[in-house]
Amino acid sequence: MSSVLQHVTVQDALVVQAVCGLLAHLIFKRYEPERPLYVALLVLAAPLVLSLLLVTHLPLISSLVVSFVTYNATLLTSILFYRVGPFHPLARYPGPLLCKVSMIYMAIHTYHGKRHEYIRQLFELYGDVVRTGPNEICIRDPAAIDPLMGPTGLPKGPMWIGRSMDPPSLPLIAQQDTTEHHRRRRPWNRAFNTASLKGYEPVVAARVSQLVEHLKGIKGVTKLTHWLDLYVFDFMSDMAFGGGSETMRGDEDNDKFRYLMDSSMQATVILEVLPWLRKVVHLLPGSARELVMFRKMCFQRATHRVQSGSVTKDLFHYLNNEDGAEEVSPPLMRVVSDAALAVVAGSDTTAAILSITFFFLLRNPDVYAKLKEEVDHYYPPGEDACDTQHYPKMQWLDAALNETLRLYPADLSGSQRMPTPGSGGKLIGPYFVPEGTAVRVHTFSLHRDPRNFSPHTDDFWPERWIIGGSDEKSATTPIVHNTAAFIPFSVGPANCAGKNLAMLEMRMLLCCCIQQLEFELAGDLAQDPGKFERQVRDWFILQKGELLVIVRPRVKV
């Protein structure tokens, strides 16, 4: 062996190391290995072995250094030139150079919570389709909605696998197999059909009344966002697990369940952008510790609920097939895999939208007054505002909620999809999406595109939902109101299953609060209302700012 190595010149050794670096790029491109062992073999072990070609010419340490530099420099250079060059499948789509090079650049914007604003800026600069990563594009075009997310749309993209952190059984939201997704979605549909929603109404009403009575007793300034968080968390526990949470009554978060849920959002969104990190976090002590603890607690709570059986028809009554609708009951691990989804989707989203709706109402007294007038018309003093019979007729109630959802949908950056492996790609509207490309319609940018909603595109203007939905149009100002571009709950077979329940929660709470309470902005928001919006963060689920208010019982004249 040593005699063979002696005949290898330094130049030959460098050529071999460079060629092997190019071959490593082909392996990464073809197989996309994520396991740390395989990556280590390609990045560390290969140049270590190749350093033997230089040991007869250079000292051992020098051989190692030269081999590592030559091999990995070639590997990285090849990757960079391919990603920014004309032969990449996404070369036709414009975008920042740093985004084309690596998803790490987008991860930085994501970590700070301003990804939604950054991508909107990219659309303004590059047009309706932007390359936001080496193998990712974002679209701002209503024509792409149905082909991407409709009945014949694409399956879920890798972001969902990253967020799930490779559990034994993937949750519904991460299912990439459309057949399996359809099967897993059936119990969710039963849990939120019309009959089931009717059964939830008394539970929502009890929690709403509890919150309103508590707010009546508060003196001075209070953090309304905090109480809304507690309201939706307690109701989520009722709806998903049949009870078990009384945070509005002052029960301490002793197990830090709520704290872990809130604090894990930033970690999960980084795993969304860099899904390969899920293979690494388990190897780093303390890494994503709060996220791991939160998921573990969700599984424990769901397991306890399933093993204890149901007292009421809650979500797991359907997920565990306790209604007997399926021929075969699912295994326990599959049932509890949706626990984290139930907790986050059932609490964080609704609390965020409610908080922002209250903020916009208090910042726009004219809209607040019109909504008060509408509530007073349908629910005068003594009437039960938790009675849902008048909700469908309340234009200003729905207009205020829809306008909040337009400006700040709960999922600001939209649902990521990817063409089925082996399909070769798919045409999404006028845009061809090559195989291996993650793609999403960017909800925040779509909703704030003046071609879809104008005038007052960036302002809270609920009138657009009343004018746009009537036969009477403004004679002075042209109204653009493209409801086909309004997708706050996503669309298609994988849309938000709990949409109607969330709307019920929000309508009932707003009606009861406005009927019985007066609110006023307080603290810094009284002088600087824009501070609240500046605190909004895009960490998959919209994270709202702090809403300080003065609340008092409403005096009816």
Q: Binding site for heme: what residues are annotated?
A: 496
Strand partners, 432: 427
Q: What tokens appear for 47 in the block?
A: 């140049």
Q: Is the distance from CB of 137 to CB of 130 less than 8 angstroms?
A: yes
Structure tokens at 81: 């030139």
What's the CA gap between 386 and 392, in Å, rounded?
Answer: 13
What is the side-by-side strand order in the sheet with 517-521?
A: 221-223, 548-553, 517-521
Strands 438-441, 136-139: pairing is parallel
Indicate the annotated binding residues: 496
The answer to whether 512 touches 208, Cβ cutoff 8 Å, is yes
Cα–Cα distance between 255 and 260 in angstroms, integer?
A: 9
Q: At 417, give phi and psi (nearest 5°).
A: -130, 170
Looking at the DSSP bridge assignments, the partners of residue 454 are 480
* Dihedral Cα 221, 225, 227, 232, nearest 10 deg: 170
Q: Phi and psi (nearest 5°) for 472?
A: -95, 115
| Helix (H) or strand (E) run with residue 468 in it | none
What distance, in Å, lies between the first and last C-alpha atoms of the chain?
100
* H helix runs in 242-338, sequence order: 257-263, 265-273, 289-308, 315-319, 332-336
**Is residue 123 classed as helix, strand or coil in its secondary structure?**
helix
| DSSP-based three-state secondary structure for 552 | strand
Helix (H, G, I), strand (E, B) or coil at 537: strand
Place of tokens 């020098």: 62
Give, in order, the Cα–Cα distances in Å from 423 to each of 16, 160, 434: 36, 20, 9
How many Å separate Cα 322 from the centre of its chain?
30
Contact 79, 28 (CB under 8 A): yes
Token couple for 427: 């045409």
Pairing between β-strand 438-441 and β-strand 431-434 as defined by DSSP bridges: unpaired
> Is the distance from CB of 261 to CB of 343 less than 8 angstroms?
yes
**Could you identify the residue written with the tokens 């002088």?**
527
Determine contact, residues 317/195, Cβ cutoff 8 Å: no
Burial of 293 (0-12, 13-18, 19+ CB in 10 A): middle
Structure tokens given for 513: 């609060």
DSSP calls for 72-118: HHHHHHHHHHHHHSTTSTTTTS---HHHHH-THHHHHHHHTT-HHHH
Cα–Cα distance for residue pair 254/250, rounded to 1 Å: 11
Q: What is the DSSP letter of 41?
A: I
